[in-house]
Homo-oligomer: A and B are copies of this chain.
Amino acid sequence: MSVTIKDVARAAGVSPSTVSRVITKHSTVNKLTAQKVRKIMEELEYHPNIIAQSLVSKSTSTIGVLFPKTAEQLYMNLFFIEVIRGIFSETTASMYDVLTTTGATIDEELQATMNLVRGKRVDGLILLQSRVNDPIIQFLQAEGFPFVLIGRHVQDDSLLSVDNDNVKACYDAVKHMVEQGHERIAFVNGPSDLVVCKDRQAGYEQGLKDAGLPIRDDYTLDGSQFSSFQAVSTFMSLPERPTALIVQDDLMCMDLIRTFKEMHIRVPEDMAMISFNKMSIGGLVNPTLSNIDIDIFQLGKTAVELLVKQIRSEKIEQCRWIVPHQILSRQSSVLGSS
Contact = CB atoms under 8 A, between A and B. Distances in A.
A114 interface: yes
Interface of A: 2, 45, 47-52, 54-55, 60, 62, 67, 70-71, 74, 77, 81, 85, 88-89, 92, 97-104, 114-116, 118-121, 251, 254-255, 257-258, 261, 280-281, 283-286, 288
Contacts of A71: 85, 88-89
Contacts of A104: 92
Given A51-B51, A51-B54, 12 more contacts: A2-B120, A50-B115, A50-B120, A51-B119, A51-B121, A71-B88, A77-B81, A81-B81, A251-B284, A254-B281, A258-B283, A258-B286
A82 to B, nearest CB: 10
A258 B281 contact: no
Contacts of A115: 47, 50
Copies in the complex: 2
B114 A103 contact: no
A118 B255 CA distance: 47
Nearest to A96: B101
Given A98-B100, A285-B258, A47 B118 contact: yes
9 contacts: A47-B114, A51-B54, A62-B99, A71-B85, A71-B89, A97-B100, A97-B121, A251-B281, A286-B286
A258 B284 contact: yes
A265 to B, nearest CB: 13
Contact of A88 (B48, B70, B88): B70
Contacts of A280: 74, 77, 251
Q: Which of A103, A104, A286, A288 has the most chain B CB atoms closer than 10 A to its own CB? A: A286
A89 B54 CA distance: 28
